[in-house]
Amino acid sequence: MPRLPLRSRKDVGSVPGDEDTRAHVAGAASAAAADVAPPPAVEPDPGAAAFFDVDNTMMMGASLFWFARGLAARKYFSTRDMAGFVWQQAKFRIGGNEGNPDDMLTIRENALAFVADREVSEIVQHSEEIYDELMAGRIWGGTRALAQQHLDAGQRVWLVTATPIELAAIIARRLGLTGALGTVSEIVDGRYTGRLVGELMHGPAKAEAVLALAEREGLDLSRCTAYSDSANDLPMLSLCGTAVAVNPDTELRSVAKARGWTIRDFRTGRKAARIGVPTVAAAALSGGIVGGTLALRRRNKLPW
């Protein structure tokens, strides 16, 4: 896999090249942008850490959906005429269809375009409010307890998520965790350009971010633990000495059983069915809203 020297967020805003290169740049940028909380109050174990996915692992549903819903309530964008764009995102998020280069280019270009020209401080303030309004009550108590076990053992705990790193850092701080690795957007003069740095923090990019952070923080990945609900996170799960499937999808459950990984499911019966399916649909909807709105804005010059 190509290895590139880490550059500034501005320098790597639109990275050409193959998916591996973009994933590496995204991972390196996320690790570089991640703030580090003070070490645990107990005797530290500096070589070990835990990495938690967010959507349906730490939180019920898709964090980006709740983020988009909160911004929509603040009149950041309209949701009219979104069906075609929701379908495009659904093909990627539900079907994992990454085979169409045109679709993937559109998704990358529009992923964070809904904050284009907005001040970072403004989005951070709204993110704090949206967490309180829509996210705090959706944290899985069982997963939060798992994270606390690592903190109590003197280990650092990181969220690893496709949600914007500014929001991811707020979630981590509110939960008392060490920090977060999230999708990094290009920032110029304190404002978002709407372009990604490298790639969405998804699949291989998560593994790259964990690798970069481990190198920076001196972690021994064989002593680290990764948690996720999705087979999309197999690259990250496979990096660590211990992998745990939390509220797993069908594919990840099968892989976890085959590899002897621990499975923790905090859903039960109807609750699992009720939460699991809407989570996928919500992720598709959120991607469609935020990506589609920008496409409409550019095509029809819609006001925010």
Q: Strand pairing of 179-183 and 185-188? A: unpaired
- Half-sphere exposure at residue 34, Cβ-oriented, CA atoms within 13 angstroms: 30
**Residue-range definition of the domain harbouring residue 97:** 19-300
- Half-sphere exposure at residue 191, Cβ-oriented, CA atoms within 13 angstroms: 6
Active-site residue, selected from the candidate residues 11, 45, 55, 265 = 55
Does a structural domain hold residue 185?
A: yes
How far is the CA of 125 from the CAs of 3, 114, 158, 238, in angstroms?
Answer: 35, 16, 22, 36
d(CA 175, CA 198): 28
Burial 10-44, CB ≥16 within 10 A → b, else e: eebbebeeeeebbbbbbbbbbbbbbeeeeebeeee
How far is the CA of 1 from the CAs of 19, 21, 23, 103, 122, in angstroms?
Answer: 10, 7, 10, 24, 37
Once rounded to an integer, what is the mean pLDDT over residues 92-98? 45
**CB 71, CB 126: distance < 8 Å:** yes
Task: List alpha helices for 111-140, DSSP H.
Answer: 120-130
Specify whether 20 is catalytic. no
Does a structural domain hold residue 88?
A: yes
Does a structural domain hold residue 9?
A: no
- pLDDT tens-digit map of 96-141: 444 454 555 555 556 567 788 999 999 999 999 999 999 999 999 9
**CB 201, CB 181: distance < 8 Å:** yes
Question: Could you count the other beta carbons within 10 Å of the beta carbon of residue 207?
Answer: 24
Does a structural domain hold residue 197?
A: yes
Is the pTM higher than 0.95? The answer reads no
Q: How far is CA 51 from the centre of its chain?
A: 12
Does a structural domain hold residue 7?
A: no
Does a structural domain hold residue 36?
A: yes
Tokens of residue 281, six digits? 């649909």
Does a structural domain hold residue 106?
A: yes
Q: Where are the beta strands (DSSP E) in the chain?
A: 49-52, 156-164, 179-183, 185-188, 191-196, 225-228, 242-246, 262-264
Number of domains in the chain: 1
Active-site residue, selected from the candidate residues 11, 35, 53, 152 = 53
**CB 198, CB 182: distance < 8 Å:** no
CATH code for position 246: 3.40.50.1000
Residue 265 φ then ψ, to 5°: -120, 110
Does a structural domain hold residue 13?
A: no
Specify whether 55 is catalytic. yes
Tokens of residue 82, six digits? 């979104």
- pLDDT tens-digit map of 226-278: 999 999 999 999 999 999 999 999 999 999 999 999 999 999 754 444 444 34
**pLDDT value for 95:** 46
Banded model confidence at residue 78, pLDDT cuts 50, 70, 90: low
